[in-house]
Structure 1
Amino acid sequence: MTHHTDARWLRFYYVLRAGVAAAWVAAAFTIGEGPPAGIAILLVAYPAWDAAANLLDARRSGGLRSNPSQAGNAAVSVVTAVAVAVALGQGPHAVVAVFGAWAILSGLLQLATGLRRWKAGAQWAMVLSGAQSALAGGFFLKQATGAATPGIRDIAPYAAFGAFYFLVSAVWLTVARARQAPVGRTA
């Protein structure tokens, strides 16, 4: 795979991740306090999608052995999807606690992926996103011990920031590629 193929793939991947996260946020705010089954599906689907996306990217980018942080992130996200399903029976505080632990672990793994891919470009946004995810996880854990009852709308801004960072990376890669293209040709 050439660097340009990698950049093309990453642009597509980052747009896909941004779009799915934005759709999830819209659904979370739309359903909000709606039917518990719909909320449960969204809460389990978010880490499940993250697992699938990490697997897809790792396989497209040289395989799981070449991308251990993404393989780890996929594994953590699968466990999280199952843990969220279990936590739903224990209440919203348990769900937010699971999301908190996941945000910390997946954020650190995303940060590691961004550092490993630094030369691919636009990874500063992925590193920043990973760090912010880890910090948000700490906030979720604190929220899980609070008196107020958390809900899906408390998790939605976390996903919105993820969408933002993926979109920034996609735009950054697109602009960088356009600057490198010969006059009269765009990628």
Structure 2
Amino acid sequence: MSAQMNDQSRALSSNAWLKNYYYLRFAVSAAWVSAALTVAKTGSPLAAVMLVAYPAWDALANYLDAQRSGGLGRNKSQLLNVVVSVITAIAVTVALGRSMNAVLAVYGVWAVVSGAFQLVTALRRWKTNGAQWAMILSGAQSALAGLFFVKMASGMEAIGIANVAPYAAFGAFYFLVSAVWLSVGGALRKSARAVS
């Protein structure tokens, strides 16, 4: 009985962390999209900083989440996501010296790889946390968006930070859906316990 209560307590604590984490990821992504479509839209130095900061933030966020979920050793997909996102931030810095097409190509490869790792993380969490269907969709869509970015980068179309904004906006949406889903699920469980 005690072991079962400990398992339930760990699951509740994990869900509380994930809910707050998803709300934070939503807020940061939404702010990034807003800035990308307004003050940074014209290819200013701010846009360059934001393009480097986005994968760097993803690396930090995955690191924090993994640390709260048993550590990087127990969360290999997030460990790999941290490494890939750090490499991406460095690669974007280099690509900015070449062209926005090169930056978009780097983002494309990153979106494919990090999307796959996000998908693996969500599938692993399905049993323990539930409410991971939005993260699974997000990972799959990220991989597809990455392929689109790589194709677009090889074209002649003018590219800017605004081309990345829809990708970040979809990410924000999925994080919000996951956070709300966990919030509603938690409220329902609490009311069910109160009734019983």
1:37, distance to aligned residue in structure 2 (A): 1.1
Match runs of 1:102-117 below 5 Å: 102-117=110-125
**In the alignment, which residue of structure 1 is the partner of 2:189?**
180
Aligned equivalents of 2:191, 2:162: Cα separation in 1: 46
Structure having the higher Rg: 2
| Cα deviation digits, residues 2-40 of structure 1 (max 9, x gap) | 100000000000000000000000010112443531110
Query: For residues 151 and 177 of structure 1, what CA distance do their matches in structure 2 show?
Result: 41
Post-superposition CA distance 1:68-97 (Å, at most 9, x none)? 000100100000000000000010100000
What TM-score, normalized by structure 2, do the two folds share? 0.91
Structure 1: gaps spanning 5 or more residues: none
Cα–Cα, structure 1 residues 3 and 141, in superposed 2: closer, same or farther, change >3 Å?
same
Alignment of 1:17 onto 2:39:
no
Matched AA of 1:164: F
- Partner residue in 2 for 1:135: 144
3-state DSSP of counterpart to 2:74: coil
Separation in structure 2 between the aligned mates of residue 138 and residue 184 of structure 1, nearest angstrom: 46
1:72 aligns with 2:80: yes
Tell me the matched-pair count: 185
Q: What CA distance in whole angstroms lies between the structure 2 residues aligned with 1:40 and 1:14? A: 26
- Counterparts of 1:38 and 1:32, CA distance in 2: 6
* Candidates 95, 102, 107, aligned match of 1:99: 107
Q: Structure 2 unaligned runs (5+)?
A: 1-8
| Structure 1 equivalent of residue 98 of structure 2 | 90
3-state SS, counterpart of residue 62 of structure 1? coil
**Could you tell me the TM-score, scaled by structure 1's length?**
0.96
SS at match of 1:90: coil
The reply to whether residue 151 of structure 1 matches residue 160 of structure 2 is yes
